Structure 1
Amino acid sequence: MFSSTIQVSVFVFVTALIGFLTYLSCRGQNRSSQNQNREYFLAGGGLAWYFVAGSITLTNLSTDQLVGMNGNQMALLALWEFSAVVGLFVLAKVFLPVYYKFKCTTTTELLEQRYHDKHIRAVISALFFLGSALIFCPAVIYSGSLFMQSMFGVDLPLMYIAVTFVVVGALYAIFGGLRAVAVSDTYSGVLLLTMAVLVVILALQAIDYNFDGIPVERLTLIGDNDSPIPWHTLLTGMIFIQMFYWGTNQVITQRAMAAPSLKEAQKGVFAAAGIRLLIVPAIIVIPGIVSYKLFGDIGDSAYGKIVATVLPDWLSGVFAAAMAAAVLTTFNSNLNSATALYVCDIHESYVNKTPNVPKLSGYVTVLLCLVSLALIPVYQQADSIINLIQQLYGLLSMPILSVFIVGLLFRNVHANAAIGSVLFGVALYSAMSFEFSPMYAPFGLHYIHLMFVTLIACVSFALISNKVIFNQKAEFSLALYKEEEAK
């Protein structure tokens, strides 16, 4: 009982300390009503590179990563992180110069500039919004609640823990905007990475650094055809998944667009890439592999089990606070970004050009929170959280990426041709990736290959329909990247 009291006390103290440090960093900042969108969603363009790096890192790294990837209990999942480094470099050198050139608040604002049509911006924003509402927000709340429940060994219903996360995360998103989200991300990120590395070291000590007895297929980085990531998928869909996630996804790019200059933003992205290369792969696979040797194939319970086993009681409260912070920052980052998409791309274009941004954002945030809680029972039925997320987001990722690729590489493409390609892509990927479809997994292709097929099909659909239906000839042009970069 005394041990549990110490755990909870340390957890509450560390969580409150992060909140207090965030308040100190954010108080007194300019809240000018001249440009509410820029202040609320881009922190007034005032994020230093270390806040950009910290926010990008912890927005991506949460319980759905730590619990989900370790739940596969194999080294192969590290390939997601190694390939993510490429995605971050593409963000820094390809996408960011364009976003800064057009002074974008949302990534989808670029589409309106390139296609000269506000409707395509709204359509893609709606898809991103649905992705956050139906996939990422409920998944991170569910996985975080599950971890906290298993770590503390409490008998509280999962939904009670989830409600607590949702309420606290919403407070950050509503009252602090992106500035509070990014600052809390950074403080929390330092704590989480430190504790996660400690778990790796203690886990390795628990097996005396001896991997004997673990099947070879769980230790290899070269996956065969039956593995979660066959090696050949790295040559097709994997790189485009990373381009989409790091280069066009509002949740990630919003942090990089909030720096005072392009150079500062790129510095932050490169720092995030270094963390992704040197630290993250180990913390998302080694604990899971060790848990396989100690406990067998236990799936998504692996990370919580190994943490509870190797961490001394006096540190478990600190680790719980770090994990709670990871859940909160990923959740409130998704809330803030989804809200930005709705307010800037939909509400201001079709409902009211000059809304009260903080008030409207609060309403949208509350709606997203309620949807997240309602979907938790759905995620409780998943065999693997991370695999389910990847498959579901495949419905949106490649169709959306195709619109960005066509818009950046071609001129004179009708917006409706691009919108049509998105609808075509969602239908095509659905038909190829869900078991109830007669087109399921054609030729036995892995879902990552199917993403690549979907991307090629969407780009082709847009260009062909542009010519046949709208009688416009697309002009291939890289001129955009030859222009002077934004300062």
Structure 2
Amino acid sequence: MKGLDTLDWVVIAIYFLILLGIAWWVIKQKQKDTEDYFLAGRNIGWFVVGASIFASNIGSEHVVGLAGNGAGDKMPLLIYELHAWIVLMLGWVFLPFYARSGVFTMPEFLEKRFDARSRWVLSVVSLIAYILTKVSVTIYAGGIVVSALLGIPFWIGAVATVVLTGLYTVLGGMRAVVYTETIQAMVLVVGAGVLTFMGLDAVGGWGELKDTVGVDYFNMWRSNSDPDYPWFPLFFTSSIVGIWYWCTDQVIVQRVLTAKNIKEGRRGSIFGALLKLMPVFLFLIPGVVALGLKMQGKLDWDSPDEAFPVLMSNLLPSGLRGLVAAGLLAALMSSLASVFNSCSTLFTLDIYKKLKPDKPEEQLVKTGRVATFFVVGLGLLWIPIITTLSDGLYEYLQNVQAYISPPITAVFLLGIFYKRINANGAIATLVGGLIIGFSKLTLEITKSSFSEGSFLFAIADINWLVFGAYFFAMCIAIAVTVSMFYPRPSEAQLQGLTFGTVTAEQKAANKASYNIWDIVASVVVVLIVLYIMVSFSTLSL
């Protein structure tokens, strides 16, 4: 890899100065209550909401990993980047219920729909999952990226980035996060877009790239007998994971809850869905381009995960290289900031406030800042562990989501669409699903210790996509069956929180919150998703 030169460093310095200037301006604003600190006063417009949704999804490990998928013959995983249609569901289906409930967090919504037990379980599970996966993996991958780009030791890169991100997240709260994420999203899109254009030019164009790597390489749909990525379990399980991540996960939903109203939140989700289509072209295609250049003898790299940084350092001229490096740093910082703030929100409002209900607003904001420091500290402490577990963790990271998401997705979907589901059905699904999911994950990790042909080996050996589909069906069955043994929830408890209990006034208010252009934009997003799905198949190519 070529190192950064003086002009690259100047570009990176300008980027950081702009970023810190925005953060400082936000920090100077007074933030005395929880609504302002955790939800930016619920006063954010659609453009910033959409950019924040996109930026919080794209981390440095996402950028490098997606390009690695493109360079490493893992095209079926492209399906996870075509979840723009699920982002639309957040704005059109879920947001009206969340907004009407007036909640700050997703566990709080479950408490209103079911009871306090569901809130506690989801809060604790979410915090543990964030710290052990999102925070730790982002820090680890970010440390590698920063050390490679800037030529500094891994530890210095990881610690410096975490501390800087944690600092403005702690001091500025959600407002600092969403505004800095807007800048970071634009930098990332511009930088990666330039790299994609120049990469395609270097390889000889799209037609030459297809001829070089082969038409079949672009096929994302494999037969149902494929041992790794059978097409139907891939589509089904990825959709379940997508609904969990985009429609019920605190990190993402918190962005639309910062909007001024449902109209701005929905438009933010539509804009976020449009931006979500970009990673296919900004990160996946550069990975395929890097493979094509390697096959043409114009580029060399050892691991597919090196494809993006090697392509960037060898292809881009001085200055632009610094811009893309700034974009990768932006991806790292935005995803970290999102998780830091959401962890802080969950701990403060779903755990601390429940234990100390009489604490004033200023004390809750202070607690939120302390909680962020605590999460930052745990993330740093986890680095020595993740450096020893990285191979296994990266191998199982995508599987973990298939084991965490089904019970949560089932409870939220049934909670909104089916009035008969009650609190006992929800808690049985969450707790039972947690036990089943982590049991399967444990068996998968320890599979080598079982004898081939044994019952435990057979369970451990089930493809994670196939298991995810069956697991979701089990969770639906648990929720419905247990609920039938107990009385149905009262209409008063369900008012406005589930289909069938929305009043005529609430329906009218929701209808007034969108127009024909919102519908047209949403249809365009769905059509683009379908076009990409057809294009990345051997039938079309």
TM-score by length of 2: 0.81
Q: Would the alpha carbon gap of residues 441 and 321 (structure 1) be closer, same or farther in structure 2, given more than 3 Å must change?
A: farther
Structure 2 match to 1:20: 21
Residue 27 of structure 1, CA deviation: 6.1
Structure 2 match to 1:134: 132
Q: Would the alpha carbon gap of residues 228 and 327 (structure 1) be closer, same or farther in structure 2, given more than 3 Å must change?
A: farther
Residue 197 of structure 1, CA deviation: 0.7
Residue 172 of structure 1, CA deviation: 1.7
Confirm or deny that 1:240 pairs with 2:240. yes
Task: Tell me the distance in 2 between the aligned counterparts of 1:317 and 1:377.
Answer: 29
Choose the corresponding residue for 1:345, options 350, 361, 386: 350
Choose the corresponding residue for 2:62, options 54, 61, 65: 65
RMSD: 2.7
Q: Deviation per CA, 1:149-196: give whole Å up to 9, x if none.
A: 2223x2x33121110111011112111111110000001111110001
Task: Tell me the distance in 2 between the aligned counterparts of 1:440 and 1:285.
Answer: 34
For structure 2, the residue ranges without an aligned partner over 5 or more in a row are: 295-299, 448-454, 511-541
Task: Tell me the distance in 2 between the aligned counterparts of 1:441 and 1:337.
Answer: 38
For structure 1, the residue ranges without an aligned partner over 5 or more in a row are: none
Confirm or deny that 1:396 pairs with 2:404. yes
Confirm or deny that 1:460 pairs with 2:456. no
Residue 217 of structure 1, CA deviation: 5.0
Task: Tell me the distance in 1 between the aligned counterparts of 2:286 and 2:394.
Answer: 16
Q: What amino acid sits opposite 1:462 in the alignment?
A: A
Matches within 5 A, 1:82-97: 82=82, 84-97=83-96
Residue 414 of structure 1, CA deviation: 4.4
Task: Tell me the distance in 1 between the aligned counterparts of 2:390 and 2:85.
Answer: 29
Task: Tell me the distance in 2 between the aligned counterparts of 1:443 and 1:59.
Answer: 33
Structure 2 match to 1:447: 464
Residue 13 of structure 1, CA deviation: 2.3
Task: Tell me the distance in 2 between the aligned counterparts of 1:134 and 1:443.
Answer: 22
Q: What amino acid sits opposite 1:172 in the alignment?
A: Y
Q: Contact 1:97–1:262 (CA<8 Å) still a contact in 2? A: yes
Confirm or deny that 1:124 pairs with 2:122. yes
Of 354-363 and 228-237, deviating more is 228-237
Residue 413 of structure 1, CA deviation: 4.2
Task: Tell me the distance in 2 between the aligned counterparts of 1:383 and 1:308.
Answer: 25
Of 106-115 and 228-237, deviating more is 228-237
Which secondary structure state, in structure 2, belongs to the residue aligned with residue 222 of structure 1? coil
Structure 1 match to 2:256: 256
Q: Deviation per CA, 1:298-337: give whole Å up to 9, x if none.
A: 1322211111111113222222222112211110110101
Q: What amino acid sits opposite 1:362 in the alignment?
A: R
Q: Contact 1:64–1:385 (CA<8 Å) still a contact in 2? A: no
Q: Contact 2:51–2:275 (CA<8 Å) still a contact in 1? A: no
Of 196-205 and 215-224, deviating more is 215-224
Structure 2 match to 1:100: 99
Q: Contact 1:463–1:474 (CA<8 Å) still a contact in 2? A: no
Q: Deviation per CA, 1:73-100: give whole Å up to 9, x if none.
A: 2443332111x11211110111100001
Choose the corresponding residue for 1:360, options 364, 367, 387: 367
Task: Tell me the distance in 2 between the aligned counterparts of 1:229 and 1:358.
Answer: 45
Which secondary structure state, in structure 2, belongs to the residue aligned with residue 267 of structure 1? helix
Q: What amino acid sits opposite 2:22 in the alignment?
A: L
Q: Contact 2:79–2:235 (CA<8 Å) still a contact in 1? A: no
Which secondary structure state, in structure 2, belongs to the residue aligned with residue 144 of structure 1? helix
Task: Tell me the distance in 2 between the aligned counterparts of 1:205 and 1:480.
Answer: 56
Choose the corresponding residue for 2:141, options 140, 143, 150: 143
Of 379-388 and 347-356, deviating more is 379-388
Q: What amino acid sits opposite 1:320 in the alignment?
A: A
Q: Deviation per CA, 1:106-151: give whole Å up to 9, x if none.
A: 1221111111x22211210111111211100111121122112222
Q: Contact 2:3–2:313 (CA<8 Å) still a contact in 1? A: no
Q: Would the alpha carbon gap of residues 17 and 385 (structure 1) be closer, same or farther in structure 2, given more than 3 Å must change?
A: farther
Q: Contact 1:57–1:276 (CA<8 Å) still a contact in 2? A: yes
Give aligned pairs, total.
476
Task: Tell me the distance in 1 between the aligned counterparts of 2:231 and 2:458.
Answer: 18
Of 68-77 and 307-316, deviating more is 68-77
Task: Tell me the distance in 2 between the aligned counterparts of 1:440 and 1:159.
Answer: 38
Structure 2 match to 1:159: 155
TM-score by length of 1: 0.90
Of 409-418 and 332-341, deviating more is 409-418
Q: Would the alpha carbon gap of residues 147 and 421 (structure 1) be closer, same or farther in structure 2, given more than 3 Å must change?
A: same
Confirm or deny that 1:202 pairs with 2:198. yes
Residue 200 of structure 1, CA deviation: 0.8
Task: Tell me the distance in 1 between the aligned counterparts of 2:255 and 2:4.
Answer: 39
Q: Deviation per CA, 1:325-356: give whole Å up to 9, x if none.
A: 22111101101011101111111112344251
Confirm or deny that 1:478 pairs with 2:486. no
Structure 2 match to 1:436: 446
Q: Contact 2:241–2:406 (CA<8 Å) still a contact in 1? A: yes
Identity, % of aligned pairs?
25
Of 389-398 and 239-248, deviating more is 389-398
Residue 215 of structure 1, CA deviation: 5.0
Q: Contact 2:111–2:119 (CA<8 Å) still a contact in 1? A: yes
Q: Contact 2:23–2:168 (CA<8 Å) still a contact in 1? A: no
Task: Tell me the distance in 1 between the aligned counterparts of 2:131 and 2:366.
Answer: 19
Q: Contact 1:300–1:384 (CA<8 Å) still a contact in 2? A: no
Choose the corresponding residue for 1:309, options 309, 314, 334: 314
Q: Contact 1:42–1:257 (CA<8 Å) still a contact in 2? A: yes
Q: Contact 1:64–1:386 (CA<8 Å) still a contact in 2? A: no
Structure 1 match to 2:324: 319
